[in-house]
A = this chain, B = another copy of it.
């Protein structure tokens, strides 16, 4: 039951007049606000500027193994970069390959390699009539874009409180050999902020895939991206669990410094079994002579270990948490108790997931846009951009200033009200 359901037409019309007045006042300000993408703010990026000073014209440029980092070599990464990444990713350096830019590139390349050459000697996916992926929803649009691009059929899996619906996941993975993968954001999921429970992680590690070349794409993008370091969420380490379960090769785990240092100019990594490392390296050695080692050296020098990363992430949290708090306050003040929407209360990551009344999301996004607010396109959090209930909206509060965020969210709540009113007036 929401506040508009019980109203008469006249009451609804009167409420519409009130909200339209507010809406028009915002429109008159000719605003240009953006809460669409999970981009760090200027203040967050400033935190990593000293990293640039770790390698200058008069610096030592040798890796700890004596390699001149300015020259070719080190296909899979510098030892100190692997050690740092392994420390952050809770695994071992020999299980890590370092890539450049961001982890999205790695995921694309792995899907592409499975498509062209297959995984560990299995049939290349381009030779199969059907390849399917499981997609917990709502989820990350760029994951779904990769699988859609390769013609991989995507199956929605409901995201529950503690992770994807594992009964459904097991049913598909353990019985359907056309199911070759699943996209996971195990901690502070994009966009719901979900933290997978120990039980869910354990069930993932203990899958018995019908397809030998099934892989869990474990995108741990927000592993150390807590909003409150007094309230850190941890999840079991899946590579170790899957090895113990006799499934050593089932997981591709991803990590990235894109939201730790510089977005899109950081280092990223794949962590996986030694078998997968050998399989992936056989492709890498054809594709590249090696990735940017200058950048790897700078990262390894700026962060000695996971402890240094943690101290750095506390500074990020100090900037981010007030924005998430402001979001929570604003939505609660404007929409709390109205029944016009519900939203998540993440303890980390970059997003809040908001559900409107059924059939309202697209109209809300259009409405805020006409008032100068850019939000993630409705439907983007679902495969094929098809949100079956047209209700989910992703909110990204990180990039805007607090003032901009407050205004954008107020406009958003007014839009939610106006679209909800129209639902009952029409």
Distance between Cα atoms of A50 and B58 in the complex (Å): 8
Give how many A residues have a beta carbon under 8 Å from the other chain's beta carbons: 58
Contact assessment for B116 and A292 in the assembled complex, using a CB-CB cutoff below 8 Å: no
A40 at the A/B interface (Cβ < 8 Å)? Answer: yes
A281 at the A/B interface (Cβ < 8 Å)? Answer: no
Contact assessment for A52 and B55 in the assembled complex, using a CB-CB cutoff below 8 Å: yes
Contact assessment for B288 and A104 in the assembled complex, using a CB-CB cutoff below 8 Å: yes
Contacts of A289 in B (CB 8 A): 101-102, 104, 142, 263-264
Identical chains in the assembly = 2
A76-112 vs B, CB cutoff 8 Å, 1 = contact: the mask equals: 0000000000000000000000001110110011001
A250-291 vs B, CB cutoff 8 Å, 1 = contact: the mask equals: 000000001000111100000000000000000100111111
A308-335 vs B, CB cutoff 8 Å, 1 = contact: the mask equals: 0000000000000000000000000000
Contact assessment for A264 and B287 in the assembled complex, using a CB-CB cutoff below 8 Å: no
Contacts of A53 in B (CB 8 A): 56-57
Closest Cβ–Cβ distance, residue A300 to chain B (whole Å): 14
Contacts of A56 in B (CB 8 A): 52-53, 56
Contact for A293 among B50, B108, B264, B293, CB less than 8 A: B264
Q: List 30 A-B contacts (CB under 8 A).
A: A37-B72, A39-B72, A45-B68, A49-B57, A49-B58, A51-B57, A52-B55, A53-B57, A69-B265, A70-B262, A72-B263, A72-B264, A102-B288, A104-B287, A104-B289, A108-B288, A112-B112, A115-B116, A115-B126, A116-B126, A126-B127, A142-B289, A146-B286, A146-B287, A149-B283, A264-B288, A264-B289, A264-B292, A265-B292, A292-B295
A residues contacting B by CB (< 8 A) are 37, 39-40, 42, 45, 48-53, 55-59, 61, 68-73, 100-102, 104-105, 108-109, 112, 115-117, 124, 126-127, 142, 145-146, 149-150, 258, 262-265, 283, 286-295
